[in-house]
Amino acid sequence: MPKVYKCFHIRRGDKVGEKHYKWTERTGMKESKRYEFIEYLNSSDKSIPSIFIMTDDYKVIEEARKHPTNDLYYLTTKDQQGHSTDDDLETDKIYTEKYIANFFTEIEIAKGSAQFVGTKSSNVFRYIRNQCTNNLELISLD
């Protein structure tokens, strides 16, 4: 990672209505609004070209690549296509140590950023806000 970078935590999957979620099916509501990459970009400091992207959907990386003026960093793999807790429970999905280690690595990278853009309604945003001891600038889109 470069010395100065910003981090975007971009939600996809069940929380924004893109994957199976019984709560959404029952209530007709989404837990969170879906924000596009450009909305994160427009909310962030333009003088910081390096972006670390936290997401569980590789399509976000593909969307971000349409903005070539930024240096992109991420741990997301091509096989990650958004999260669904209900699908995971129904299929007895097992999360590997590597998956968990990557997630906590993303959190540590996010905590080291100069600016973090996400949604305050997410557990990840709140966790990073509560764990940071540096002067991390937090920006919420919701």
Does residue 55 fall inside a structural domain?
yes
CA 32 to chain centroid: 13
pLDDT digits (tens, 9 = 90+) for 90-104: 778 788 899 899 999
Q: Which residue has the tokens 């793999």?
A: 77
For position 18, what pLDDT does the model report?
54
For position 33, what pLDDT does the model report?
78
Number of domains into which the chain is organized: 1
81 is in which domain, residue-wise? 6-140
Is 126's pLDDT higher than 70? yes
Does residue 103 fall inside a structural domain?
yes
| Residue-wise burial string across 66-105, b where 16 or more C-beta atoms lie within 10 A, e elsewhere | eeeebeeebebeeebebbbbeeeeeeeeeeeeeeeeeeee
Does residue 93 fall inside a structural domain?
yes
Q: What is the CATH number of the domain that holds 29?
A: 3.40.50
Does residue 1 fall inside a structural domain?
no
Does residue 79 fall inside a structural domain?
yes
Hey, what are 61's tokens?
A: 């990386």
